[in-house]
Amino acid sequence: MSDSIRVIQYGLGAIGRAAAKLVLERPHLQLVAAVDCNPDLVGCDLGQVLGLGKNLDILVAEKLENLFEEVEADIVIHCTGSHFINVQPELVEIAKAGLHCITSCEEALFPHYRNPDLAADLNNHCVSNSVSILGTGVNPGFVMDTLPAVLTTISQRVDAIRVLRVVNAATRREALQRKVGATMTDADFRKLVDEGRMGHVGLLESLVLLATSIGWDIENISETVEPVIAQGSVRTEYLNVLRGQVAGVRQIATADRNGKEALRLELQMYVGAENPRDEIELTGNPSIKLVLPGGTPGDIATPAILVNMIPAVVHAVPGLHTMATLPLPRLSA
Amino acid sequence: MSDSIRVIQYGLGAIGRAAAKLVLERPHLQLVAAVDCNPDLVGCDLGQVLGLGKNLDILVAEKLENLFEEVEADIVIHCTGSHFINVQPELVEIAKAGLHCITSCEEALFPHYRNPDLAADLNNHCVSNSVSILGTGVNPGFVMDTLPAVLTTISQRVDAIRVLRVVNAATRREALQRKVGATMTDADFRKLVDEGRMGHVGLLESLVLLATSIGWDIENISETVEPVIAQGSVRTEYLNVLRGQVAGVRQIATADRNGKEALRLELQMYVGAENPRDEIELTGNPSIKLVLPGGTPGDIATPAILVNMIPAVVHAVPGLHTMATLPLPRLSA
């Protein structure tokens, strides 16, 4: 075990628990601690929390700082929130503790976009403590940003990039079906949009990461969040959407380059979506289309990418990284 | 121009000429010289060789060493041959001159496989001269190795990887149609296979690069090269294949892991191939399929990747690199 990388799991929601389980399966990784502020979990054995039916002799700690005297670790997998402004103090604490970090925080994919000062502050803490931090996931983090960037490697010229992700929410967990607005009225949905409480977090971060990674200056960045209205009733394992109710969300981020739309990321997540898929289209020389039929299953793929990026982050130059500043991403089983 | 990267084009075949043209289009690159031993080209103005209809005031040099006193450069795009054993002295000369290099030599994608001693020697020259060398292209270099490696980033577990590339040779240049054996007899084709003169160079390098990049120990590496026999006559712009003649090649490289076939790269290149495409299938958790309908056009994409990798190679740690040791590949226009 002496050569293994020691991992702390911070946040034990669905993604955090799946990441912790995957760490346990990887021979080069060692799960040494877990943190979650949920009082129902604090003090419980992690093996029970993960539903393993056995103890791991790792008790869930309420706060990261409670671990510093007892546990030696190398990296934290951080899964506590979507908004960088909220989790930045946690990430700073991790850096100050001399620990590397991979976070599922969607806005941390490219935190310089919304919070340049907080991002710069975090980067400073990383550099002065010789650690690296990366925000990633499957979306944002892979399908709508990293993968299209990689596809441009074989382009002589790219005029426009269009990415379409269609998710049939009926095949996903109940929380996601509720999150996309299934069974809501159009009015309630739009009210949540106006309050900034509806829609996928991170689409603009994908857009900006993609543009930055290929050196594009973009302008007129914009985003729309619209309800998809059910044309007929749709029954899922968890709920029943009636005709005229909201089935889910259609979210589009665009940006111009040289006065013309050059980037368009469209995410459709609704119950009953047909032909779920991820599609990337490059217009240019050559024009290329890439399709992932069925789409990438986020509940499996996000824990995977969080864990697969561990060696790259541990060996990176200290600082706040993006998927575009690290070596070729790949399985690290 | 002072911040631009100065490029020498070494080798002016179809790919080399296309790479040189692309360098001319990129504002951050400056084409400063060209080399080709072909007596028909030596001394000619590169603009005429490239068919630009104007002079570039760059005369094609016969040998790289002829340039060293006159030209200052940063990197060489090297397109002279497919076999590492033949081009290694040229690559050493480039390294000794203190120049970085990107080569289209197929076996240089992973030269440690066939020629570990020559690869180690080249690496030493790179390190002692503080330069970096990379072998790449679209195949080998992207479709059957780099792209499948990137796709594994979202895998919790990969049991097997299958890549299929189907190219309709009828849509490619005449040299390629001849190269895959179109119009040959079965017997003549097999004779060339036995002599090691038929088939795509680099499929095993793709296999080994892919395995190495995801940390797989593989065994029973094998490769077959078979003719595809025309089931009816096929006419192309350049030739006419009769029923029963060879239409092209079907080449398969496989490897086992833990006693079972885990890697299978299949390349079909023949005139009249239907549904040309690149397909990657990962079996595991999740199982994922990726399709590039129509396939990647090699004649456009290979010059593109050679040129797009320039900034990554110039800024890399000195040494002999692979696509898996450099940062996320992407457009660098």
pLDDT per position as a tens digit, A203-254: 999 999 999 999 999 999 999 999 999 999 999 999 999 999 999 999 999 9
pLDDT for A2: 52
Report the C-alpha gap between A210 and B142 in whole angstroms. Answer: 19
pLDDT for A3: 79
Asked whether residue B18 carries a pLDDT value surpassing 80, the answer given is yes
Please give the residue that has the higher pLDDT: either B173 or A157.
A157
Low-confidence ranges of chain A (pLDDT < 50): 1
**What are phi and psi for residue A33, nearest 5 degrees?**
-165, 165
Closest by Cβ to B331, choosing from A158, A323, A328:
A158
User: Residue B290 and residue A291: Cβ atoms within 8 Å?
Assistant: yes
User: Residue B152 and residue A297: Cβ atoms within 8 Å?
Assistant: no
Contacts of B304 in chain A (CB under 8 A): 153-156
User: Residue A214 and residue B332: Cβ atoms within 8 Å?
Assistant: yes
Contacts of B153 in chain A (CB under 8 A): 142, 146, 304-305, 308-309, 329-331
User: Residue B292 and residue A296: Cβ atoms within 8 Å?
Assistant: no
**What are phi and psi for residue B299, nearest 5 degrees?**
-70, -25
User: Residue B300 and residue A286: Cβ atoms within 8 Å?
Assistant: yes
pLDDT for B1: 41
User: Residue A330 and residue B152: Cβ atoms within 8 Å?
Assistant: yes
User: Residue B285 and residue A300: Cβ atoms within 8 Å?
Assistant: yes
To test the contact with chain B by mutation, choose from A136, A153, A217 the residue with the greatest count of B C-beta atoms within 10 A, namely A153
**Nearest-neighbour CA in chain A from B99: distance (Å):** 23
Contacts of A311 in chain B (CB under 8 A): none
**What are phi and psi for residue B106, nearest 5 degrees?**
-60, -45
Report CA torsion sign: A249, A255, A259, A261.
Answer: negative
User: Residue B327 and residue A327: Cβ atoms within 8 Å?
Assistant: yes
Task: Count CB pairs under 8 A between chains A and B.
Answer: 159
Cα-based torsion angle of the residue sequence A199, A204, A205, A210 in order, rounded to the nearest 10 degrees: 130
Structure tokens at A21: 């389980």
Structure tokens at B202: 């680099």
Asked whether residue B210 carries a pLDDT value surpassing 90, the answer given is yes
**Nearest-neighbour CA in chain A from B309: distance (Å):** 8
Strand order through the sheet with A157-168: A219-229, A246-257, A260-270, A157-168, A277-285, A288-293, B288-293, B277-285, B157-168, B260-270, B246-257, B219-229
Contacts of A142 in chain B (CB under 8 A): 153-154
pLDDT for A332: 96
Quick check: bond before B286 cis, omega within 30?
Answer: yes
pTM equals: 0.97
Asked whether residue B229 carries a pLDDT value surpassing 80, the answer given is yes
Report the C-alpha gap between B230 and B248 in whole angstroms. Answer: 8
pLDDT confidence band for B26 (50 / 70 / 90):
very high
Report the C-alpha gap between B268 and B273 in whole angstroms. Answer: 8
Report the C-alpha gap between B253 and B202 in whole angstroms. Answer: 10
The overall average pLDDT reported for chain B is: 96
User: Residue B214 and residue A297: Cβ atoms within 8 Å?
Assistant: no
Asked whether residue B149 carries a pLDDT value surpassing 50, the answer given is yes
- Computed on alpha carbons and rounded to an integer, the radius of gyration of chain A in Å comes to 20
pLDDT for B2: 52
Report the C-alpha gap between B116 and A73 in whole angstroms. Answer: 37
The angle, 0 to 180 degrees and rounded to 10, between the axes of the packed helices B116-128 and B84-96 is 10
**Nearest-neighbour CA in chain B from A192: distance (Å):** 31
Nearest-CA residue of chain B relative to A138? B154
Spatial neighbors of B166 by CB under 8 A, at least 6 apart, are B268, B273, B275, B276, B277, B278, B279, B295
Structure tokens at B6: 């100065």
Residue B142, Cβ density class (10 Å: 0-12 exposed, 13-18 middle, ≥19 buried): buried
Contacts of B25 in chain A (CB under 8 A): 156-157
Structure tokens at A90: 């946690």
pLDDT confidence band for B321 (50 / 70 / 90):
very high
Please give the residue that has the higher pLDDT: either B289 or B66.
B289
Place of tokens 């029923």: B243
Q: pLDDT digits over B233-243, tens only?
A: 999 999 999 99
User: Residue B214 and residue A288: Cβ atoms within 8 Å?
Assistant: no
Contact by Cβ (8 Å): B314, B328: no
pLDDT for B333: 87
**Nearest-neighbour CA in chain B from A286: distance (Å):** 7
User: Residue A328 and residue B149: Cβ atoms within 8 Å?
Assistant: yes
* Mean pLDDT on B299-320: 97
pLDDT for A1: 41
**Nearest-neighbour CA in chain A from B131: distance (Å):** 18
User: Residue A308 and residue B153: Cβ atoms within 8 Å?
Assistant: yes
Contacts of B324 in chain A (CB under 8 A): 327-328, 330
Nearest-CA residue of chain B relative to A211? B331
DSSP letter string, B259-276: TEEEEEEEEEEETT-SS-
pLDDT for B69: 83
Place of tokens 């409480």: A197
Chain centroid to Cα B56, Å, comes to: 27
Nearest C-alpha neighbor of A76 from the set A55, A51, A96 = A96
Spatial neighbors of B89 by CB under 8 A, at least 6 apart, are none
Nearest C-alpha neighbor of A295 from the set B154, B246, B164 = B154
